[in-house]
Amino acid sequence: MSEPNGKGTALITGASSGIGKVYADRMARRGYDLILVARDEQRLNDLSGQLKTQTGIAVDVLKGDLTNKAGLTRIEERLRTDKTVTMLINNAGISVSGPFNGSDLDQQERLIQLNIAR
């Protein structure tokens, strides 16, 4: 990351699309540096480049899947050690379509772990 900007850095999970992408844009326009977290590294890199060009803020991309222990541990470690982080927007989430009765139990467990437990 660059020198501190005064506001610090916002770490945003689920930043590659939807509400997380909007949060990233809004925080960048408010002058926060960003750490963007999601599974899709290409979309994160595209967003990073766009935000850097439009706002001049510093952006780090951190590929991570919060549904697995390794991904979660990497994000936790960054939060513990990066003293520039002043804001966490924990936006990552998933949904499962279709009727609950007969749904895939592994998908339901993954949804509960990401949306509720983490």
For 24-42, what is each residue's pLDDT tens digit? 999 999 999 999 999 999 9
- Topology of 9-117 in CATH? Rossmann fold (3.40.50)
Mean pLDDT, the chain, integer: 92
**2: Cβ contacts below 8 Å, ≥ 6 apart:** 33, 58
Q: Which two tokens stand for residue 4?
A: 């501190």
Q: Which residue has the tokens 């989430």?
A: 93
Name the residue among 92, 94, 91 with its Cα closest to residue 111. Answer: 94
What is the rounded radius of gyration, in angstroms, for the C-alpha atoms of the chain?
Answer: 15
pLDDT in tens, 72-81: 999 999 999 9
Residue 2 pLDDT class (50, 70, 90 cuts): very low
**12: Cβ contacts below 8 Å, ≥ 6 apart:** 20, 23, 24, 27, 34, 35, 36, 37, 89, 91
> Can you say whether residue 59 is alpha, beta or left, with left for phi > 0 and alpha for psi between -120 and 50 degrees?
beta
Give the pLDDT confidence score for residue 4 in this predicted structure: 55
- 3-state DSSP percent of the chain in helix, strand and coil, to 5: 45, 20, 35
